[in-house]
Amino acid sequence: MWRPGSTLAREPPLWLARLRWRLRGESARLAFVLAVLAQAGLLALLPVKGDGGVSWTTIAQLVAFDLVLAVVGGALGARSLRRRDPSLPRIVARDRAATFALVAGVVAVLVGGIVHRPALTAEREKVERMVAEAKRVAARRAPEYTKARLRTYDARRLAPSILRVCFPTRSPERAWCTVVRPDRGGYRARKDDDTRPNDQAGGTAGPPRPMVRRTP
């Protein structure tokens, strides 16, 4: 027996139908924002190179990357979609293709992070070993104030295999630092006569990259 409400029950809500209509031809705008946010989150968890970290520079690069994907992918993909379905409006085809390209960009960042994961783990283990050597020297030569605070430090990469590790002193403008470098299959740390903290030290090393901070 037919019931009047049975057809309405199978129909989507009115707000959902309106949303679908509004997004038809405009889904790439929402996909663009979501793609940038998703990629930033993935880079924070699974960096594709280096030690990771997300900065405003990284966000700007993601915006540029996704903009290129949306424009180029939308133009090229729209041709393919309209060959399959000539009745598909050009604007809808371009929007749909751009959305697919943005999704592919998110997947590419995820895959890159997974591939880079073993190298990232090995690099972090190397940094931990270098910091442990710096702590060993500090525990023997640093002032008592610094010895009691070895769990608080920051490490600045001067070169791929050279680390400057600094520990706090009584003065916030001074630090007790060591320079750690490879030596005979291990690492050797020596006291740095420069007492400036890493964020104030200049010279040929350039800006800190990366800055690793640890506190209790």
Structure tokens at 208: 């800190």
Residue 130 covered by a domain: no
Domain co-membership, 116 together with 148: no
114 and 31 within one domain: yes
Q: Per the domain annotation, does 111 fall within a domain?
A: yes
18 and 115 fall within a common domain: yes
Residue 205's domain spans which residues?
Answer: 142-214
Number of domains in the chain: 2
100 and 161 both lie in a single domain: no
Choose the final residue of a domain: 121, 155, 176. Answer: 121
Is 163 found in the same domain as 95?
no
3 vs 34, higher pLDDT: 34
Residues 23 and 109 in one domain: yes
Lookup: tokens for 199: 């964020």
Over residues 104-160, the pLDDT tens digits come to 999 999 999 999 999 888 888 999 999 999 999 999 999 999 999 999 998 888 888
Domain stop point among 90, 121, 152: 121
Residue that terminates a domain, selected from 89, 121, 153: 121
**Within a domain: residue 188?**
yes
* Burial (0-12, 13-18, 19+ Cβ within 10 Å), 47: buried
d(CA 198, CA 129) in angstroms, rounded, equals 19
pLDDT at 53 over 90: no
Cα 167 to chain centroid, rounded = 27
Does pLDDT of 102 surpass 50?
yes
| Residue 110 sits in the same domain as residue 46 | yes
Contact 211, 154 (CB under 8 A): yes
Between CA 148 and CA 158, with CA 153 as vertex, the angle to 5 degrees is 140
Residue 163's DSSP bridge partners are 157, 180
Name the token pair of 89: 């409006």
Instruction: Give the tens place of pLDDT for each residue, 162-171.
Output: 999 999 999 9
Q: What is the pTM of this model?
A: 0.66
Mean pLDDT computed over every residue of the chain: 83
Q: Would residue 8 count as lying in a domain?
A: no
- Looking at residue 210, its pLDDT comes to 44
Q: Are residues 115 and 205 in the same domain?
A: no
Q: Do 21 and 90 belong together in one domain?
A: yes
Q: Is residue 6 part of a domain?
A: no
Q: Report if residue 97 sits inside a domain.
A: yes
Q: 184 and 107, same structural domain? A: no
- Domain-embedded: residue 128: no
In a domain, 137, yes or no: no
Q: Are 110 and 90 in contact (CB under 8 A)?
A: no
